[in-house]
Amino acid sequence: MATWTQRAVDRLKGWLEPELFQPFLLGVFVSLSLSEFVRGALTFSLLPTWGRTVLGFAVEWTALALSVHYLVDNALRAPAGWLVDHVGERPAILAGFAIALGSLVAMSQVHTVGGLILSMAAYGMGATPMWPSVVSAIGRATPEHKRAAFMSYMYMFWLGGTGLGPVIINFLTGRRDALAFFVLAGVVALGLVLAWALVRWPGGNFANEGQAAPVRPGRGPAGSAASSAAAPAGLTASVGSSALTASDASADASAGSSAAARPGGWRTPADRRYWRSLWRNVREVAFLFPGMFVQTFAVASLIPILSVYARMVLGISGARYSTILVAGGALTVALLIPAGRLVDRTGPRPFLVGGFLIAGGLLAVYPWFHTLPLTYVTVALLGGCYAFILPAWNAVLDHSIDPDKKGALWGVFMTVEGLGSAAGPYVGGLMWDVFSPNAPFLASAAVILIMGVLYLFLPITAGHARRRAARPHT
């Protein structure tokens, strides 16, 4: 038996990158998966259902708690990245898990809106250090020429946790909410123990062959975690064949923001040239900011009402809701890589426009014909659209950024998207309470359809054209 197990492990190592099996890096990835398992279960399923059906709060208030959680997460990204840069990944992850565990215990005991909002704010604080820690760990523990592969591994751990969380917890929501909170607290405690045992930097420098070693834990030539601290919003737009983009953003962060990091600031001509160039690039892409905000806002506005809609309008159980989520998630994962390759070959516009128009049309029609079979079809098609929108949108953003400013501008992009994620849940819950359960779907559909039409005409491929024109002809 031991021989067979060893052969299986050896074969698995032959298929995967050997650096993945470093206890340090594997521990960080497992910590990410467990953290996102809890976040996905809490935000997509448990909190909306528990707040509405058990605590008796209006959907508006549970949605506000979700928005506060996203707002705190967004506001603390840069400080969390600074913390990882200065103390390393291990203390940041351990502190995050400890805060998240305390917030979950407190959340399970609250009976007031204020208590729910405060506990969710604390949970957002606990979840914040995970992403900058993961990006920093990839930069430190992997060779530069394998960075894209390890970003793909990161997506696998992230999607696995986020997808399994709501699917599994739906079997416990409703009559066994206390058990659901106990399970989530147990997952966080498991993450705390595993991070304590595995996330220990062994020394050496795997990150950049031929380059200097990091000066201190969490800080090195591979890139600054502070510059990559907004990972959740931007990385979700970096799946598929465009995975290298997010890796480049982290790898170039210290170079791209070197002027900001230098004590001199504006004192040298090089500093002033950098900031002028950065401001020029920001102005060039400013037309994308409204779309960045509203499309993230539109998607986030549905988060607090999905599980409640499934229970109160469709009349289905948590287990059935889980199968619906699987239908959409499975198609998304299956199509991500081929969709990314198609975007690389043909350009982002047709897939971005087509994905938005189809998704908006589905959301507009669904509330009027919400049968169970149509629900499965709609969710699966939305998952397919999402698989094409992600790499297409990522390509638009990446091609709009100067190569030496990826770290700085990805931070700006992620902040704008994070604000949309923070505002969306509250507005969606408010529309449910003030108008009707159909209102969030129709509002989201209107925003997405408008953006699809605008992307037909906006110069979203101008950056790509400039880059192609600037390439030397061979």
Q: What angle do CA 170, 173, 176 make, to 5 degrees?
A: 135
**pLDDT tens-digit series, residues 291-300:** 788 878 888 8
Structure confidence by residue, pLDDT tens digits, 378-418: 888 888 888 888 878 877 877 777 666 665 666 677 778 77
pLDDT at 228: 38
Specify the pLDDT at position 81. Answer: 77
Domains in the chain, ordered, with CATH? 19-208+216-469 (1.20.1250.20)
Distance, in Å, from the CA atom of 236 to the CA atom of 17, rounded to the nearest integer, reads 23
Give the pair of three-digit tokens for residue 58: 């209006």
Comparing 66-75, 92-101, 171-180, the range with the smallest average pLDDT is 171-180
Which pLDDT belongs to residue 249?
42
Mean pLDDT across the stretch 348-375?
A: 88
Average pLDDT over residues 446-459: 87
Q: Is the pLDDT of residue 229 over 70?
A: no
Q: Which range has highest mean pLDDT (174-178, 187-191, 248-252, 407-411)?
A: 187-191
Task: Tell me: pLDDT of 374 over 80.
Answer: yes
CA distance 50 to 395: 38
What tens digit of pLDDT does each residue of 258-293 get? 434 444 455 677 767 777 777 777 787 778 888 788
Q: Which residue, among 411, 472, 434, 432, has the nearest Cα to 281 in the 3D structure?
A: 411
pLDDT of residue 18: 56
Percent of the chain with pLDDT over 90: 12
pLDDT in tens, 350-361: 888 999 999 999
Closest CA to 132 of 195, 71, 85: 85
- Residues 303, 297: Cα–Cα separation, whole Å: 10
What pLDDT score does 56 carry? 83
Q: How confident is the model at residue 419 (pLDDT cuts 50, 70, 90)?
A: confident
Looking at 142-268, list the stretches that DSSP marks H as alpha helix, in order from N- to C-terminal side: 147-169, 177-198, 231-235, 243-251, 253-256, 258-261
pLDDT value at residue 282: 76
Question: Beta-strand (E) ranges in 205-346?
Answer: none
Q: What is the DSSP letter of 199?
A: -
Mean per-residue pLDDT over the chain, rounded: 75
Backbone angles phi and psi of 199, in degrees to 5: -80, 80
Kindly state the average pLDDT of the residues 88-101: 91
Residue percentage of the chain with pLDDT more than 70: 73
- For residues 239 and 247, give the distance between their C-alpha atoms in angstroms, rounded to a whole number: 11
128-157 per-position pLDDT tens digit: 888 888 877 877 777 766 655 666 677 778
Reference 247, options 345, 142, 336, 337; nearest CA is 142
